[in-house]
Structure formats: structure tokens, C-alpha cells
Amino acid sequence: VSRADHSPAPAGESAVAVLGLGLIGGSLLRKLTDVGLPAVGYARDPRTRTAAREVGLEVSDDIDGALAGRQIAVVAVPLPAVPTLFDATVGWGGLVTDVTSVKGPVAALARARGLRYVGGHPMAGTEQSGFAASDTALFVGANWVLTLDDDTGLDDWLALARIVLRTGARVVATTSAEHDRAVAANSHLPHVVAAALSTAAGENPLALSLAAGSFRDATRVAATRAELTAAMCGGNADALRERIDDLIARLAAARDVLDDDALTAFFEEGRRVRAAWPPTAGGERSIPIADPDLRSALLAAGRVGAPIIRADADRLTLADAA
Amino acid sequence: VSRADHSPAPAGESAVAVLGLGLIGGSLLRKLTDVGLPAVGYARDPRTRTAAREVGLEVSDDIDGALAGRQIAVVAVPLPAVPTLFDATVGWGGLVTDVTSVKGPVAALARARGLRYVGGHPMAGTEQSGFAASDTALFVGANWVLTLDDDTGLDDWLALARIVLRTGARVVATTSAEHDRAVAANSHLPHVVAAALSTAAGENPLALSLAAGSFRDATRVAATRAELTAAMCGGNADALRERIDDLIARLAAARDVLDDDALTAFFEEGRRVRAAWPPTAGGERSIPIADPDLRSALLAAGRVGAPIIRADADRLTLADAA
């Protein structure tokens, strides 16, 4: 018996189908069920469906059964599996979102199928994966990007934001292009660098043997499965290419001042940024949902990294950085 | 009353002066005192001398008093203070070592003063510094590089190796040039990259706001004081310049295969190296000290990252990697 069977949908809240029950999808279905939102899951592997039912979740044996009568579908599978799941939602008519780490290419997949789509990217994860690692606390305090492109319906965006806020996450509004540039800088580029640093040190056994904390941390993500990293970085090739070129220019500039007082300034600039990270929460402010410029106000907030932390009936509350 | 006063020097072991009682020097003096080696400390700051005496260490109020009657001086101060301390040992006649992270430039300082010198670099440290952070366990299991250059006396090197092994560290033999290339790859380059990644992300508030684990780890050392990092990297400029150029070439190659199957191979190579790090201990083997090729045998072992883990009267025992 699933808990969801006994939780009536709160007025105005959408019923959610979570397609894919790995770490992200499993954690989402558990959390939505916990907070009393009507939610059903689907996983391709029957063992995962059994495991999910065993912890009291409502699970469908097929995708159509999961979608029927629901308003929102969360496609919670890795990028290579997204097209197949998107295909399965064609003609259903509800709102589709995803949880992958690139947004422009996925928006193009949705557009090509004529889906009602809002791109999503929860900035949460662990080294683990699979339903067994799922955790209702995974999203608490995490940023969850929802893309707001020119062709995104604002009502769809708001409906999804209300669902995401129920997980404990904070919602960041941004365009697909701005998202992809940001994750190229803060995630995909560090993955490329980690691999290059690791391979370079690998040619020098003494370097590997003497390596300590700075090497350990700089290369940690190089231990990720190569297929996953390649899919993630290759999926964001255009934005990542620009970030690699930018980094090469910065490294070349550092190389030219190694004998110089300017080297301290180079390190001081990095120190200043890193010491101020992560940004601490500053004041809160709210935006009326009736604001005729709501779309641009949301995007402006996202651009300075201010997430939405609460949605009331008539207004959204944002947290500015300090 | 210091413990050292009551510990007779074991036959054949040298008495040690530790000049500088910060994290490294303080930990070393405490450990040598604990294991019953005759050791005395000196620190410029009288409060540090008082703190060291309060935990039972023997401390001299001046450098000459610390050196008098001792055979080995460990100059345990940051690179900018090394020349002054080296000057103070001129004419004393004992064996001088240091604990800084570059070896070629420090060897040149020692050579210019005609010192009997063996370069040292313990691969141990924490984010903390100062005598208050000192810890007798700091060196246990850590690699401690001792440089063996063409002009290094083999007997001096062996005498120092015996002292270092008493701290629980493992001794790695290498030339100054090989050491500096290795730390350029495994430490100085990661510091340069961390600063560049941090500064680049700093230009994009959305990127900072969405940054998670890969950014956190890739940039952790960027939070280090800029003067320290600049001194460390600038002190190893020649070796570091080559490593930066090498990394730039690797990044450019990755950029050119972002749309390509070769991207998986790029990440797989990094994964393979990182997954095998840190190297696990394999078998042990020993080298007779009477071996006429002892010098080249030690350097060959260092080159493959095999540290010395034990010194008996007639032989050294090495641990090979698995």
C-alpha cells in the first residue's frame, strides 16, 4: 500500500509522474510522497519498481500508466535516455521537465517533439547512484535550476517551481544558454581539468607518489566513469569550448608572470573569489506574481544567483546573496 | 626540565638542532624528543620558545646555542627566511637540511654559502600552521624527500635519512631537479589551475551560485594566502612553466575532441590514473648499504616512487608500489 494512495492532492497542486527512479528520481518520488503530493513513479527495471514499492511508493509498471491523469512528468534519466522518454510523452499533453546537466540541447529535443517543456537541473548528487542511494533530504537547500526561455510558458514554469520548492530545494530561473555557460564554467571545465592534471601526473611516477592534498582534490572528479563525464561535457560542447579557451588564456598569462610580482595578484584574485564562496544568504525580497515584468525579474534574479525560496499564492520570495 | 636532558644519544645517532618551530619544525622537535633523540629547538619568537619549553622540549634562546655541539641542523622556516638561517650556519660545519617545497633554488643557496647540505621536503602539512598546530603524528606514513644530487655526500644523506625515519616518515631519494618537476606537476600546477578556475567563475555570479562539489574541490587550494602560493610557485618557476605549457596542450587537445568519441578516451586516461592513486604498497626489498651503486639504486627507487621504510646498520628496506 503506497502512502500516496492515502494523500489527497492539495487544491491547485499537480499530480506528478517521476519517470526513472535512480538517485534523483527516487529521491524526488520519496520526498513528494512524504510531503503529501500525489506522485507516481516508473522505472524500467522491475527490481527498482519492487524496491520502490517496498518503501511505500506508488509505482506504475508502464509509462502510460504513470502519465495517465497526471499533469507533470519529471524525466529523471541520464541524457542518452532522454529522447526515448520524451518520445513516450508525445501526445500526452502534460508538462515535461528533466534533470540533466545541459539544458540547450535538451530543450531542442523537447522542441522537436512539440512538448510543453521546462528544463530542470537539480544541483544535488553524490558519488553514489541508483534507487538504493535515494534520500528524501537530497534536495534540501540545494539549487534547482528551471529554465525560462522565450518559448517557455510562464504558468508552466510557476507550476513546476511550486513542486520543486516542496522538495526543500531553492529554484533558480535562467535561460538554457545562461545555464549551459554557467555549468561549463563551474562543473564541466573542472572535469576536463581534473582529467588533464591526472593524465599529466600519471606520466611521472615520482609525482604520483609525492602527491598530496592539492592533487587529491584537484583530480577527485577524474575518477568518475569516463562515459558519464564524456556525455556530460560533450553534451555542452559549445559552451565548454569557450570556457576551455578562456582558461588556456588565463594559464598562459600566469605562466608569463611566474618570475614576477604580478604572480601574487594572480593568486590573490582567485583567493578573493574562492574565500567568498559559497555565497552567504543576504536579505529576502518578494516579487508579486502579477508583476507584468515577472519573466525578466526572475531572469535578473537568476543572473545574480538569487534563488526563489518560497512561493505564496500571490508572490515569490527570493534570497539575495550577502 | 626538558625530556631531552635525560635521553642519552643512542650510539651513532646525531644530535639535531631544529631552527624554526612552526607546524613542521615544532612537530619534528616533539617527535625526535619523544623517540629519545637528542634534539634542541630555536624559534625567533620568544612566545614560541616559551610554548615549546612548556611541553618539555629543549629550546635555545639563540641560534648559536642551538647549533653548538650538534651535528645536524633542520632549517624549518618558509622559503623567504631560508637565506638568513643558512647564513647563520656558515662556519658551523655540521649538516644542514631544510623543509621547503622547492629544492633546486634552495640547493643553490646552500651551494653559494659552501654548506654541507641535503635538501628535504616532508610531504606533510595541514591547513593550520604554527607551533600550536604541531603534532608528533604529523609525519607518520608521510613521504619525506631527501635530495641526492651529484654534490651531495652519500654519508650525509644516509645520516639524515636515519633521523627522518625516526619520525615515522618514509624517505624518498631524488635529485633536486626531479623533485621540482614532480611537485610542479602534483602541487604547483594544481594551485595555478585552482586560482584560474576560481577567477574565471568569479566573473559569472550564476556559475558561482550553482557551483557544487566539482568546483569546491577543484578550487579548494585557491583559498590559500596568495603570498604563500606565489612564493611557492614563483620559487619553482622553471619547472612550473613547462608543466603549464604541457597542461595547455592537453586542454587544447580536449577542446578539439569535445564533439567526438575521442572525448571518452581523454576522460578514461585520467580516470585510469586517478583510480590507481594513491599507489598501494607492494612488496619490500632491501639494498645493502655497501652496494657500490647505492647512489643510483636509491635514485632509481625514487624515480618509481618507492620510498625507504627502514634503515638497519647494513641495509635499507624499500617499499615498492603494487
What pTM does this model have? 0.86
Q: How far is CA A244 from the centre of its chain?
A: 22
From B8's Cα to the closest Cα of chain A, the distance in A is: 34
Put simply, the answer to whether A270 touches B195 (Cβ < 8 Å) is yes
Q: How many CB atoms lie within 10 A of CB A293?
A: 10
| Type and span of the H or E element at A157 | helix A154-165
Using DSSP, how many helices (H) and how many strands (E) does chain A show? 14, 11
Query: Which has the closest alpha carbon to B186: A244, A213, A293?
Result: A213
| Type and span of the H or E element at A145 | strand A143-147
Query: What is the tens place of the pLDDT at every residue in B54-104?
Result: 999 999 999 999 999 999 999 999 888 999 999 999 999 999 999 999 999
| A255 contacts chain B (CB < 8 A) | yes
Candidate from A124, A210, A244 with C-beta closest to B182 = A210
For residue B267, which amino acid is it? F
Query: What is the tens place of the pLDDT at every residue in B175-190?
Result: 999 999 999 999 999 9
Q: Which residue of B has its CA nearest to A214?
A: B187
Put simply, the answer to whether A218 touches B194 (Cβ < 8 Å) is yes
| Type and span of the H or E element at A23 | helix A23-34
Candidate from B185, B214, B244 with C-beta closest to A204 = B185
For residue A211, the SS3 value is coil
Q: Which residues of A touch B221 (CB under 8 A)?
A: 213-214, 217-218
Measured CA distances, A68 to A12, A71, A72, A73, A97 (Å):
18, 9, 10, 10, 16
From B192's Cα to the closest Cα of chain A, the distance in A is: 7
From B41's Cα to the closest Cα of chain A, the distance in A is: 27
Put simply, the answer to whether B202 touches A272 (Cβ < 8 Å) is yes
Q: Which residues of B touch A226 (CB under 8 A)?
A: 264-265, 267-268, 270-271
Query: Which has the closest alpha carbon to B239: B105, B80, B78, B82?
Result: B105
Rounded Cα distance, B196 and A274, in Å = 11
Phi-psi region of A173 (alpha: psi -120 to 50; beta: other; left: phi over 0): beta
Report helix angle A262-275 to B189-202, nearest 10: 60
Q: Which three cell numbers stand for residue A19?
A: 519517470
Kindly provide the ipTM of the predicted complex, given to two decimals: 0.90
Whether the CB-CB separation of B171 and B165 falls below 8 Å is answered with: yes
Per-residue pLDDT of chain B (322 residues; tens, 9 = 90+): 343 433 334 445 689 999 999 999 999 999 999 999 999 999 999 999 999 999 999 999 999 999 999 999 999 998 889 999 999 999 999 999 999 999 999 999 999 999 999 999 999 876 568 999 999 999 999 999 999 999 999 999 999 999 999 999 999 999 999 999 999 999 999 999 999 999 999 999 999 999 988 999 999 999 999 998 998 999 999 999 999 999 999 999 999 999 999 999 999 999 999 999 998 888 999 999 999 999 999 999 999 989 999 999 999 999 988 7
Put simply, the answer to whether A321 touches B205 (Cβ < 8 Å) is yes
Rounded Cα distance, A194 and B93, in Å = 46
Query: Which has the closest alpha carbon to B102: B19, B42, B187?
Result: B187
Query: Which has the closest alpha carbon to B20: B59, B72, B68, B65?
Result: B59
